Amino acid sequence: MADDTAGRPGKDVQRGSSGDGRASDRTPGLFDAVAGFGVSFSTMFRKVATEEYPEKPRPTAPRFHGRHQLNRHPDGLEKCVGCELCAWACPADAILVEGADNDDSPGGAGRFSPGERYGRVYQINYLRCIFCGLCIEACPTRALTMTNFYELADNDRSKLIFTKDQLLAPLQGGMLPPPFPMADGMEERDYYQGKVSGATTAQEAYVDARDSAGDPDDGGASDGDAEAPGNVGARVPGQHDVGHTLHPTAAETREGANP
Ligand code: SF4
Ligand code: SF4
């Protein structure tokens, strides 16, 4: 007797493994179960692809485009001269720069960078940034570079607008917190020709006198942000509490390298 369900939509029942849509009476055997487990067994010997993030962040590629950094000269003065070229180059309109004059005169605001001007306000909006690197290509002083730091997420949009105090590189050994005068006998071009290797005793004396006179450094972070002076070592908004610091490690920083 012919099967009256054949050819009727919704009536084909696969009881076996014929694979052509027709009903089959073959009962799955022991080998079928073993074949199924074979997939599991073969996977056991493959390299584990699971990442233990955030406990063990995966290293990035050397030329990874991560968070920006505003670099300093060896004595601590800032490399940014407030020219705004980075902001003009940015296709996402993510950078805000407001320059100001360095003022070495008595009672003046002081000097934050060699030369005429410095970046008084500097902000990068990481809600807009697409990490293209055009800004660091445009920077004439290598003040702006990109790090390998990528933990840029937050549930508060305002915290993803990074201000100058967050972007400035931390003070390394031999550096002083601006403002202070250029090294004796040095001009702006000397800084860019690598003739300054660290803070001089005259600069140290100036900073000591400035601090003891109750005019502590504000790190040039006069951008309306209420962070601590210089803000060195503070946390990046949005970063996880897994031991990362505000500023990238040396391995994450590629100052002087091409993007
Ligand atoms: S990386 Fe690109 S998008 Fe981001 S701030 Fe620089 S120029 Fe703008
Ligand atoms: S980071 Fe570079 S391009 Fe941008 S304002 Fe400073 S010096 Fe100019």
> For 52-89, what is each residue's pLDDT tens digit?
888 988 889 989 999 999 999 999 999 999 999 999 99
From the alpha carbon of 89, which atom of ligand 2 is closest? 3
Reduced to 3 states (helix: H, G, I; strand: E, B; else coil), residue 42 is helix
Token readout for 124 is: 């990068």
CA 258/CA 63 separation, integer angstroms: 8
Q: Which pLDDT belongs to residue 28?
A: 76
On whether 233 is known to bind a ligand per the annotation, the reply is: no
How far apart, in whole angstroms, are the C-alpha atoms of residue 161 and residue 95? 9
Does the annotation place 135 within a ligand binding site? yes
Q: Is 144 in the pocket of ligand 2 (CB under 6 A)?
A: yes
Closest atom of ligand 2 to CA, residue 84:
5
| pLDDT at residue 259 tops 80 | no
**Is the entire prediction scored with pTM above 0.85?**
no
Query: What topology is assigned to 68-212 in CATH?
Result: Alpha-Beta Plaits (3.30.70)
Which residues, 6+ apart, have CB-to-CB distance to 68 below 8 Å? 124, 135, 136, 144, 145, 146, 147, 162, 167
Strands 95-101 and 117-125: antiparallel
The answer to whether 165 and 223 have CB atoms below 8 angstroms apart is yes
- Check residue 85 and give its pLDDT: 97
Q: What is residue 210's three-state secondary structure?
A: helix
Q: Is the pLDDT of residue 101 over 70?
A: yes
Tell me which DSSP letter residue 122 carries. Answer: E
Summarised one tens digit per residue, pLDDT across range 102-129 is 998 888 889 999 989 999 999 999 999 9
Domain boundaries, the chain: 68-212
**Among 14-23, 71-80, 172-181, 202-211, which is the least confidently predicted range?**
14-23
For residue 242, is pLDDT > 90? no
Helices (runs of H) and strands (runs of E) counted in the chain: 6, 5
In this predicted structure, the answer to whether residue 222 has a pLDDT above a threshold of 70 is: no
pLDDT grade for 135, boundaries at 50, 70 and 90:
very high
Task: Answer yes or no: is the C-beta of 80 below 6 A from any ligand 2 atom.
Answer: yes
Average pLDDT over residues 159-184: 95
Amino acid (1-letter code) at residue 108: G
CA 83 → CA 34, 79, 120, 149, 203, distances in Å?
70, 11, 11, 25, 25
Ligand having the closest approach to the CA of 139: 2
211-218 long-range Cβ contacts below 8 angstroms, 24+ apart: 217/177, 217/178, 217/179
Token representation of residue 108 = 């003046």
Counting atoms of ligand 1 from 1, which one is nearest the CA of 134? 7
For residue 63, say whether it is annotated as part of any ligand binding site.
no
Nearest ligand to residue 114 Cα: 2
Q: Measured in angstroms, how far is the CA atom of residue 88 from the centroid of ligand 1?
A: 10
Residue 29's pLDDT is 77
Ligand 1 centroid, distance to 173 Cα (angstroms): 30
Whole-number mean pLDDT of the chain?
Answer: 79
